[in-house]
A = this chain, B = another copy of it.
Amino acid sequence: MNRLFVIKIGGNVIDDENNLSKFLTKFAAIEGKQILIHGGGKIATKLGNKLGVESKYIDGRRITDTETIDLVTMVYGGLVNKKIVAQLQALHCNAIGLTGADANIIPATKRPITDEGIDFGFVGDVLPDQLKTNNLQLFLENKLTPVFAPLTHDGKGQILNTNADTIASVVAVALSSVYDVRLIYCFEKKGVLENMNDENSVIPLLTTDSYEQLKASNKLFDGILPKIDNAFAAIDSGVKEVLIGHADDIVQNTTQNTTGTLIKER
Contact = CB atoms under 8 A, between A and B. Distances in A.
Interface stretch (A75-83, A223-231, A234-242): A75-83
A101 B73 contact: no
A55 interface: no
Interface residues of A, number: 41
A54 to B, nearest CB: 14
A97 B99 contact: yes
Contact of A86 (B82, B86, B87, B101): B101
A153 B78 contact: no
A142 to B, nearest CB: 6
Q: How many copies of this protein are present in the complex?
A: 2
Contacts of A86: 101, 153, 157-159
Contacts of A77: 77-79, 81-82
A266 interface: no
A70 interface: yes
Interface of A: 47, 50-52, 70, 73-79, 81-83, 85-87, 89-90, 94-99, 101-104, 135, 138, 142, 144, 151, 153, 155-159
25 contacts: A73-B78, A74-B74, A74-B79, A78-B78, A78-B79, A78-B81, A82-B99, A82-B151, A82-B159, A85-B101, A85-B102, A85-B153, A86-B101, A89-B101, A89-B104, A89-B155, A90-B157, A94-B103, A94-B104, A95-B101, A95-B102, A96-B102, A97-B98, A97-B101, A97-B102
